[in-house]
C-alpha cells in the first residue's frame, strides 16, 4: 500500500514540474553532459530534442520525452532510433543554404525513409526568412511548404515545424496561423526567441506576451525556446535571449531563463491534434484564459498531492 501511494505522489509531483508543450533544445556535442541534464530539470520541460538521433541525456529526468531528429541528407540512412520514442523530426532548416539546404522536392523524395520508421512525423523545421530571402535563405516558409506538400501529396505528416525569431507576439502567432491554415497540421515551434533585443527586460516582456498564447493555442502542439546555452552570444543577435548565463550546469539562469522555468503549462494541451481556433489576434487572446486554466489545474494537483501525502503519513 505504501509503495502504491509513493508512486501516486511521484506521478503528481512530476506532472506538476513538467509540461507537455514546453520543451528545450541543445546540441549533441560531447561537452558538459551533466549541464544538459540539469538544463532539462532546471527549465521544467516535458520534452527535448538535440538535432540528432542519439539521446544525449536521459539520467535523472523522469517523465521527459526525447524526440530524435533527422538533420539532413547526412543523417540518412536512419538506422536504429532510441527505444520508446514516439516522434521523429525531419530535416533542419532546409530552406537555408547553411543548414540542411534541401529543395522541397528533394525533401519529399526522401520522406518515405522517415515514414518507414513507423514514428509520428514532424515535417521539416523551416526557418522564417524575414528580410533574408535571396541570400542564405532560398525559400519563404509558406513557399517551401507549398512545394513540399505538392511533391508529397501522399506523404504521412503528423505535425509541421517552424523556427521564428521576432520580438512581437502578434507577428509570431500570425505566422503560426498562416502555416497552420496552409497545412492543417499542428505546429511545433521548435526554435524561437526574441531576435536583436535591446535588453533583458524586453525579452522577458516578449515571453510573457507569447508563452500563454502558445499554451492556449490549439494550433500549437509544442514549443522550444532557443538558445539555452549561448557562451559566445554576447556579440550576436541572440544577446539577452540565452536561458543561462553560462554552461556550468549550476542553474545560473538569466532573467528569461527564470521566467521560462517558472512558466506554468497546461499539461493536457499537447495531443498531436488541433482544431480550427487560430490562436492569433490581440495580445489578450489566450492570456487570461490560459492563466485561469493553469491556476485551476495547479490548485487541483496541489490539493490532491497534499491529500495523498497526509494519508501516507497517517499510515506510517
Out of 3-17, 57-71, 220-234, 237-251, which region has the weakest mean confidence (pLDDT)? Answer: 3-17
The helix/strand/coil state of 264 is coil
The per-residue pLDDT for 277 is 40
- Burial degree of 126 (CB within 10 A; 0-12, 13-18, 19+): buried
The per-residue pLDDT for 229 is 76
The helix/strand/coil state of 281 is coil
The residue-averaged pLDDT of 264-273 equals 60
Residue 54 has pLDDT above 90, yes or no: no
The per-residue pLDDT for 316 is 61
Residue 196 covered by a domain: yes
Q: How many CB atoms lie within 10 A of CB 41?
A: 17
Residue 11 covered by a domain: no
Residue 128 covered by a domain: yes
The helix/strand/coil state of 242 is coil
Residue 295 covered by a domain: no
Residue predicted with more confidence, 1 or 37: 37
Contact 299, 247 (CB under 8 A): no
Residue among 12, 42, 24, 64 nearest 297 (CA):
12
> CA-based diameter of the chain, in Å?
69
Each residue's pLDDT tens digit, 102-121: 999 999 999 999 999 999 99
**Per-residue DSSP letters for 101-141?**
---HHHHHHHHHHHHTT-SEEEEEEEEP-TT-BTTTB-S-H
Each residue's pLDDT tens digit, 167-178: 999 999 999 999
Residue 292 covered by a domain: no
pLDDT-based confidence at residue 63 (cuts at 50, 70, 90): confident
Residue 190 covered by a domain: yes
Domain count, the chain: 1
CATH number at residue 118: 3.20.20.80
Which of the given ranges, 24-33, 175-184, 189-198, 232-241, has the highest pLDDT on average? 175-184
The per-residue pLDDT for 25 is 86
Contact 24, 41 (CB under 8 A): no
The residue-averaged pLDDT of 15-28 equals 67
Residue 277 covered by a domain: yes
Each residue's pLDDT tens digit, 123-177: 999 999 876 677 899 999 999 999 999 999 999 999 999 999 999 999 999 999 9
The model carries a pTM of 0.79
Q: What is the residue range of 131's domain?
A: 21-285
pLDDT-based confidence at residue 314 (cuts at 50, 70, 90): low
Contact 169, 283 (CB under 8 A): yes
Residue 9 covered by a domain: no
Residue 7 has pLDDT above 50, yes or no: no
Each residue's pLDDT tens digit, 23-42: 998 754 445 555 667 778 88
Query: What does the alpha-carbon distance between residue 276 and residue 74 come to, in Å, rounded to a whole number?
Result: 37
Out of 92-96, 238-242, 291-295, 311-315, which region has the weakest mean confidence (pLDDT)? Answer: 291-295
Residue predicted with more confidence, 32 or 65: 65
CA atoms 127, 171, 263, 204: torsion sign? positive
Mean per-residue pLDDT over the chain, rounded: 79
Amino acid at each position: 500500500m505504501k509503495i502504491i501511494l509513493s508512486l501516486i505522489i511521484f506521478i503528481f509531483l512530476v506532472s506538476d514540474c513538467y509540461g507537455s508543450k514546453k520543451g528545450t533544445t541543445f546540441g549533441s556535442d560531447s561537452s558538459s553532459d551533466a549541464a544538459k541534464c540539469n538544463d532539462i530539470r532546471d527549465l521544467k520541460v516535458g520534452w527535448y530534442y538535440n538535432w540528432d538521433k542519439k539521446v544525449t541525456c536521459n539520467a535523472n529526468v523522469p517523465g521527459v520525452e526525447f524526440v530524435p531528429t533527422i538533420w539532413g541528407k547526412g543523417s540518412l540512412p536512419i538506422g536504429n532510433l532510441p527505444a520508446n520514442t514516439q516522434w521523429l523530426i525531419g530535416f533542419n532548416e532546409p530552406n537555408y543554404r547553411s543548414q540542411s539546404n534541401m529543395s522541397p522536392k528533394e525533401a519529399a523524395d526522401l520522406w518515405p525513409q522517415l515514414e518507414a520508421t513507423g514514428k509520428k512525423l514532424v515535417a521539416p523545421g523551416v526557418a522564417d526568412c524575414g528580410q533574408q530571402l535571396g541570400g542564405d535563405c532560398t525559400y519563404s516558409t509558406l513557399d517551401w511548404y507549398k512545394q513540399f506538400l505538392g511533391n508529397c501529396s501522399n506523404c504521412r505528416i503528423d505535425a509541421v515545424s517552424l523556427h521564428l525569431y521576432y520580438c512581437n507576439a502578434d507577428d509570431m502567432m500570425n505566422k503560426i496561423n498562416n502555416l497552420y491554415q496552409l497545412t492543417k497540421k499542428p505546429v511545433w515551434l521548435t526554435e524561437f526567441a526574441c531576435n536583436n533585443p535591446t535588453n533583458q527586460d524586453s525579452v522577458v516582456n516578449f515571453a510573457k506576451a507569447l508563452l500563454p498564447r502558445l499554451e492556449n493555442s490549439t494550433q500549437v502542439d509544442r514549443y522550444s525556446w532557443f538558445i539555452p546555452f549561448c557562451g559566445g552570444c554576447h556579440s550576436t543577435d541572440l544577446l539577452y535571449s540565452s536561458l543561462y548565463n553560462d554552461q556550468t550546469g549550476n542553474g545560473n539562469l538569466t532573467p528569461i531563463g527564470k521566467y521560462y522555468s517558472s512558466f506554468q503549462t497546461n499539461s493536457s494541451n499537447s495531443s498531436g491534434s488541433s482544431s480550427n481556433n487560430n490562436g492569433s489576434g490581440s495580445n489578450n487572446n489566450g492570456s487570461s484564459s490560459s492563466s485561469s486554466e493553469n491556476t485551476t489545474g495547479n490548485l487541483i494537483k496541489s490539493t490532491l498531492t497534499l491529500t495523498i501525502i497526509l494519508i501516507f503519513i497517517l499510515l506510517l
